[in-house]
Amino acid sequence: MPNGTLSRSTDSTSAHDIARRLAHWRARIERRRAVQEFKLCVPGAAVVYRLTAPADPDAVLDETISTDPHIPYWATPWASGMALAEVALARLREVVDLRALDLGCGLGLTATALAEAGASVSAVDCFAESLTFARYNVLRNTGRTLRTHLMDWRTARGARALAGVDADLVVAADVLYEPEDVEPVLALGGAVLGRGGSFWLAEPGRATSARFLERAKAIGWAGETITIDREWPAVVGRASVRVHLFQPH
């Protein structure tokens, strides 16, 4: 993130160039591990999304959990990401032409929906392999380029860098696991709200999410909350997700 800004994409990529880049990313992915494919019908999407993911997400956990302070939950679809994608498409008129930042992008499902809705999307994750899958999935489903930033937003350095990013919309799906996650997310959300942007958070009711929402209310954050409770596709199963749409004062 050399200059702390997100530039808009022209998205003038030709079909030939898209095919060439998809082949490049696919080869890069499959050199590392076997993959599986999910078909996801997200309400509001123009097409059925095809999501490529590691065939064995447990292996991703086993490889990383002993060497990294963060658990790599990115390797499978989650209900919060699906819910946030659905909300983004339902609010297309609010999203189109925005500069959006997807915090903890995982496999890129939410970023895919934002790109389809017409946003210029950047994604942040602390796992490089997650960003590779996200690039591939966004390009495959929308033909648009996802800008990616390998960064640990929970660290003081990462939080400072992201707080200065000139994004109109920051989204985060199920990123609050540990108590130490609360303050960095508050700082990032507060920075974008302070600039007149929006912060959207999807969460499935974890204790850390409740703590975050208490803090957000205490410092005056306000906005709409949408609850989506259903049987989700793929490997997710039944879950209730709340999507909080925090808006500037």
The residue whose two tokens read 């996802």 is 146
- Beta bridge partners, 149, equal 124
Confidence (pTM): 0.91
Domain locations in the chain as residue ranges = 15-247
Q: Which residues of 46-82 are buried (b: 16+ CB within 10 A; e: fewer)?
A: eeebebbbbeebeebeeebeeeeebebbbbbbbbbbb
pLDDT by 10s per residue, the chain, length 249: 333 334 333 344 688 999 999 999 999 999 999 999 999 999 999 999 999 999 999 999 888 765 566 778 899 999 999 999 999 999 999 999 999 999 999 999 999 999 999 999 999 999 999 999 999 999 999 999 999 989 888 887 887 777 777 799 999 999 999 898 999 899 889 989 989 999 999 999 999 999 999 999 999 999 999 999 999 988 888 999 999 999 987
Distance CA 213, CA 42 (A): 27
CATH class of the domain at 15-247 = alpha beta
3-state secondary structure of 175: coil
